[in-house]
Structure 1
Amino acid sequence: MIASVQNMTDTAASAPKTVLITGTSSGVGRAAAVAAAQAGFTTIATVRDLERTEQLREAAKDAGVELEIRRLDVTEPDTIEQTISGVLDTYGKLDAVVNNAGVGSIGTLELLPLEQIRYSMEVNFFGVLAVSKAALPHLRASGGRLITVGSAYGSVGQPFNEAYCAAKAATEIYMEGLAAVAAEVGVRVSVIQPGPIASSFGENMPVDRVALRAAAEAGQYKSAYANYLTYLPTMVASAIQSSEQVAESVLHTLTDPAPAFRIQTSDFAKGFVADKLADVDGSAIQAITREWLRAG
């Protein structure tokens, strides 16, 4: 009997590590799922809509890897519990979770309904907490990793992007506090901070862009919004990364014996975050972001 239990323990220890990644239908999530599978992880790639997995399946096929695709909507607690329970039933353990699912938002306070701002918080903040809470008992059991894909914009409030930045900032601060607690029970917590990414992420924003622009141009924000839209492509073009490059940082965080808590994926992101962390009274960041809204 003792030998049998020991054999089961040895088998579990030698089995591939199991990682669950949210939001894998496109962008960083899809690239991270493929990279994790290539690195030998048993990868559970979760999506909100199982009808939108063609590109994910094609990416896995092209890379010569297998993914287990399951439905998980971070705003639906039942799907979170069912998916994590299913992983435990199938594999007996959960070694890592990558919170990647998210939604963008563009606009400013007077131009957005509060419902849209709440939705940004629901997906980008509460959704992350819901998945993390459900996973933590199992990550404690495995001495695992809890990784969240945040944003450099979670450190710096970006004009006309306040709702997204606020949700990412709340997530980062929550995880920063949680990291110390989780470390006491053997779970490493990290936040990945990309800068601009070339992906379809922005296409999924719940925003009527035509209506938003019309509202801005009809009101007091016409000049600032126009200047912002002129400046933004210049900033993005100089710093943009591919989803695959960001996924490399995710994979490194999954495999590094002692990953940092806060991990920037580019020099741009490092500089962006460093400016904020050094700006004690907020004046330097205000000078930077207000310049974005002025005619060049």
Structure 2
Amino acid sequence: MSLEDSATVVTGASAGIGEATAHELASRGARVALAARSEDHLESIAAELEAEYGVETLVVPTDVRDESAVESLIETVVDAFGGLDVLVNNAGLGRGGEVADLSTEEYRTMMDTNVDGTFFATRAALPHLSASAGNLIFVGSFAGQYPRPSNPVYAATKWWVRGFAHSVEAQVGADGVGVTVVNPTEVRTEFGSEEGDAFTERFEPGEVSEPAEIADAIGFAAAQNHSTVHEIDVYRRDKFEGW
């Protein structure tokens, strides 16, 4: 299914799932706005997209924790692309460890990024997605469906994302907006690098999901123009071994 000339935004686009999603959307013909804090990485990715797919790109350095910055992101994209067809809420942050040992700063950072950032972007984008009958996509997590003793606060933020997304789906479906939650488990990205080995180092290729596999699911949801893809779970095939 083509996304030819669609106006799309990917948050957290500088690496991992976000970077792979930018490539997936561009491969389907979409114009892609890349949002994250790392401008250098975004510029490099944008150049790759333009060279490989011949699509229009837009780099908008954005910290999703900053309400005004997120509003400016959506306004900038709408002005540049003439509207908005797809928002991928991908920006997220995880911290593990015992709750008793988790600092208030670590707690706030996860809440501000995963909860507030998702809300700010969704709120700013919805009027434009309603106008285009577009698609709103949330990158959730296996941790948002099942208890996660290794990182309870991160899991709680993803339970919030999932509940928010499905409730928004119920609210705006009549306006023609499709809403999807994509739930990965372990993905070979830099996730976890702040606390030790990143998933790219912890898992061998083929042992868990690759970013492109999650991006493929996102691309499928983004290309819907009538139905909505309610939820997609993507996880390694032995995930439930021993449960």
Partner deviation per Cα, 1:262-283 (whole Å, 9 max, x = no partner) = 11124649x76xxxxxxxxxxx
SS in 1 for 2:192: helix
Shift of 1:238: 8.0
Structure 1 residue 162 corresponds to structure 2 residue 130:
no
Counterpart-to-counterpart distance in 2, 1:181 and 1:91: 26
Residue 5 of structure 2: which of 16, 26, 37 is its match? 16
Q: Which consecutive unaligned segments of at least 5 residues does structure 1 have?
A: 1-13, 211-232, 273-286, 289-296
Alignment correspondent of 2:128: 138
Counterpart-to-counterpart distance in 1, 2:228 and 2:207: 24
SS in 2 for 1:183: helix
Counterpart-to-counterpart distance in 1, 2:41 and 2:67: 21
Counterpart-to-counterpart distance in 1, 2:233 and 2:4: 31
SS in 1 for 2:8: strand
Structure 1 residue 240 corresponds to structure 2 residue 230:
no
Shift of 1:114: 2.4
Alignment correspondent of 1:259: 228
Alignment correspondent of 1:63: 52
Contact 2:140-2:184 at 8 Å conserved across structures? yes
The change in CA–CA distance for 1:186 and 1:64 in structure 2 (over 3 A counts) is closer
Counterpart-to-counterpart distance in 2, 1:40 and 1:110: 48
Instruction: Report the residue type matching 2:210 in the other structure.
Output: S
Alignment correspondent of 1:291: none
Shift of 1:57: 4.1
SS in 1 for 2:123: helix
Counterpart-to-counterpart distance in 1, 2:131 and 2:145: 32
Contact 1:26-1:55 at 8 Å conserved across structures? no
Instruction: Report the residue type matching 2:230 in the other structure.
Output: F
Structure 1 residue 187 corresponds to structure 2 residue 177:
yes
Q: Please identify runs of 4+ aligned residues in structure 1 that moved more than 4 A.
A: 236-239
Counterpart-to-counterpart distance in 2, 1:123 and 1:62: 31
Structure 1 residue 250 corresponds to structure 2 residue 239:
no
Q: Which has the higher helix share?
A: 1
SS in 2 for 1:53: helix
Counterpart-to-counterpart distance in 1, 2:97 and 2:54: 40
Alignment correspondent of 1:5: none
Counterpart-to-counterpart distance in 2, 1:30 and 1:105: 21
The CA RMSD measured in Å over matched residues stands at 2.7
Q: Which consecutive unaligned segments of at least 5 residues does structure 2 have?
A: none
SS in 1 for 2:35: strand
Alignment correspondent of 1:29: 18
Counterpart-to-counterpart distance in 2, 1:172 and 1:28: 18
Residue 89 of structure 1: which of 64, 76, 79 is its match? 79
Contact 1:46-1:70 at 8 Å conserved across structures? yes
The change in CA–CA distance for 1:46 and 1:127 in structure 2 (over 3 A counts) is same
Counterpart-to-counterpart distance in 2, 1:57 and 1:94: 18
Q: Larger radius of gyration, structure 1 or 2?
A: 1
Alignment correspondent of 2:30: 41
Shift of 1:58: 6.0
Please give the TM-score of this superposition, normalised by the length of structure 1. Answer: 0.72
Aligned length: 235
Contact 1:195-1:239 at 8 Å conserved across structures? no
The change in CA–CA distance for 1:200 and 1:58 in structure 2 (over 3 A counts) is farther
SS in 2 for 1:197: coil
Alignment correspondent of 1:112: 102
Please give the TM-score of this superposition, normalised by the length of structure 2. Answer: 0.87
